[in-house]
Amino acid sequence: MKRVVNILIICLALVGLLVGCGSKPNAFTATMEEGDEKTEMLIDGKGDTLEKITQTTTINIAEFGEAEREAVLSVLDDAKAEMQSELSGIEGVTHSIEVVGDDIVEIMVIDATNSDSLDKLSAAGILPLEGETSRLSMKQSKESLQKEGFTITEAAE
């Protein structure tokens, strides 16, 4: 009986050790503003493995002239349809474009754990990637975004 209790204690200790050694959640936000356009990317992962990208691009059209505003709004449905066509057959990606007040808001969510989807997004020119896509690095992504001019904000722990 004592041996069974000892084995049970050792097993529980090992489980606790394994759970404690798991990668902890990691996130940061990359932001860039240029004129009337703001892009914000929320990058989620565990340890150094990037798992999810949520990109929100907002274009403020409040200062557009009436003709320019109408021209932009008239091509919005075509832009939505074109993007949906490009994304068809790519798993793990959601996309929307909506007009919210004086803003055009585009949201794309990408499951970055699906390397086949990442390859297709890269081939379509939607997600610029270089090299191996089976695992995206949080550190390398952060460095790349900073080089592109994004401001990085670490998530509070």
92-142 pLDDT, tens digit each: 999 999 999 999 999 999 999 988 888 888 888 888 877 767 788 999 999
pLDDT at 105: 96
CB count within 10 Å of CB 6 equals 10
DSSP H/E element including 24: none
**pLDDT for the residue 10:** 40
Domains in the chain, start-ordered, CATH in brackets? 23-154 (3.30.1830.10)
Q: Provide the token pair at 13.
A: 């200790």
User: What does the pLDDT read at residue 25?
Assistant: 82
Q: What is the DSSP letter of 129?
A: -
Res 124: pLDDT = 84
Higher model confidence: residue 9 or residue 27? Answer: 27
First to last CA, the chain: 44
DSSP code, position 137 = B
